[in-house]
Amino acid sequence: MSERASSAGCLAILLATSVVLPPAAQAGWHPLSRGEPPTLRLWEPYRPGAIPVVLIHGLASDAGSWEPMIARLRTDPVLADRFQFWTFSYDSCVALPLSAASFRAALVRTRREIDPGGIDPALDRMVLVGQSQGGLIAKMAAQDSGWTLWDATFSRRPEQIRCSSEGRTALVAAFVTRRVASVSRLVFIATPHHGSAGPAVPAARLKDRLLSGRRRSELAGPIEEVVLLNGREVLSPSLRRVPMGAIGGLSWNSPILEALRRTPIAPEVPCHSIIPRLRLPLPGLHTDGIVRYESSHLEGAASEVVVPGPHDSVGRPEVAAEVARILRLHLVEGGSAAGCRIVPGRPDREGGEVPWVIGGRDQPNGNAFMKSSPSFSKKPLSCWRWNSRICRR
């Protein structure tokens, strides 16, 4: 996590997920990866009634890359009032399905932690915004893959492989995806649905050569355990010579990405594509420098916008403007839930707390949570507290 993200001041919920990786597996080759576990981070105290927008960074990046976009979106008073911004940090060198499983577990557990009674309708209208590999992680949170992804990766079913019970549980969680019910809209930015035929492929093989055997095992987690106990024949034939790290999983027409492409996104979850494109003198070549247009294009998307710029364009105003348009559309299409706000009750005379109440968006006490909720301290944002969970800079 970069110092930029830390200095922004935020609440972090560090999650013990169903995918357990060794501590060393959290640190990748990218210098910004410092060994932190997968982390869902709230950039302000949790606001009941505000819809979460969860931003997921891409390869060799971190949550700080979203700061310019968050700053621009917050200049819109409607968006600042009706949405709250979260980010998900992960080691982008860990195999894609493992990171995606950690993310899904993070969303489920965070919902349970901050809204144990399930009374905040805004938490059922989450918007996921993913850049590059982050878009694939977001997509997997809206898919029920059945055995499609598993069969594209392994040649045997779980009961037929030798591994620890923990490893088998982690693999099933990662390769038999289940949709997260709280997710209601997806935004893809430069997302390689078909993979990348650009510099990512040689970079993957170079990384695999530079890493020690032990390091490769840590990044692959339970996948490597299964390979060691069963041989590489346990993998599907097309993956037996492919590095299992996250970059290797993004190669052009990767079997894993092909399985995700065949797996439908939940029909009630609209998707939007934002596709950067470089202005190149070569006719017929449409690319952002890493991902071609043919890979970023998604059939059936509710909207698609092509913007000028390179692959890493999340900080460009054109991209933020399109995300803002999609968020306003999300409010319009949200029905009655979009006009509700949950306001924390005031302490009663016996020292307890009146339960959370649902009020209209124009209710006089609509912004009272910052003043009356005993769950939050009056400290700077760098040390906001929620139910005794503290994140200091």
pLDDT, average across residues 19-44: 54
Q: Return the ∠ at Cα 85 (arms to 83 and 87), rounded to 5°.
A: 155
Please tell me the total number of residues recorded for the chain in this structure: 393
| DSSP 8-state assignment for residue 231 | -
Tokens of 112: 């349970």
* Residue 241, pLDDT score: 77
If one compares 253 and 202, the residue with the highest pLDDT of the two is 253
Tokens of 272: 């939007």
pLDDT, average across residues 137-164: 95
Q: Does the pLDDT of residue 321 top 90, yes or no?
A: yes
HSE at residue 52, side-chain half, CA atoms within 13 A, is: 28
pTM of the entire predicted model = 0.76
Sign of CA dihedral 139, 140, 141, 146: positive
Q: Does the pLDDT of residue 36 top 60, yes or no?
A: no
pLDDT, average across residues 355-365: 28
Can you tell me which residue has the tokens 């998900």? 88
Identify residue 282 by its one-letter amino acid code.
L
Can you tell me which residue has the tokens 């790290």? 245
Instruction: Tell me the domains of the chain and their CATH numbers.
Output: 3-337 (3.40.50.1820)
Cα separation, 194 vs 283, whole angstroms = 21
- DSSP string over 287-330: BSSSSBHHHH--TT-SEEEEEES-S--TTSHHHHHHHHHHHHHH
- List, for residues 51-78, the tens digit of each pLDDT value: 999 999 988 788 889 999 999 999 999 9
Tokens of 39: 């982390």
Q: Does the pLDDT of residue 48 top 70, yes or no?
A: yes
Burial class (CB in 10 A: 0-12, 13-18, 19+), 321: middle
If one compares 305 and 383, the residue with the highest pLDDT of the two is 305
- DSSP string over 7-76: HT--EEEE---SS---GGGG--SSTT--SPPPEEEESSS--TTSEEEEEE--TT--GGGGHHHHHHHHTS
- List, for residues 190-227, the tens digit of each pLDDT value: 999 988 865 444 554 555 454 444 455 556 678 888 98
Q: Does the pLDDT of residue 292 top 70, yes or no?
A: yes
H or E segment at 371? Answer: helix 369-372
Q: Does the pLDDT of residue 81 top 60, yes or no?
A: yes
Quick one: pLDDT band at residue 252, thresholds 50, 70, 90?
A: confident
| DSSP 8-state assignment for residue 387 | T
Number of alpha helices (DSSP H) and beta strands (DSSP E) in the chain: 14, 12
Q: Does the pLDDT of residue 308 top 70, yes or no?
A: yes
Tokens of 227: 């390979």
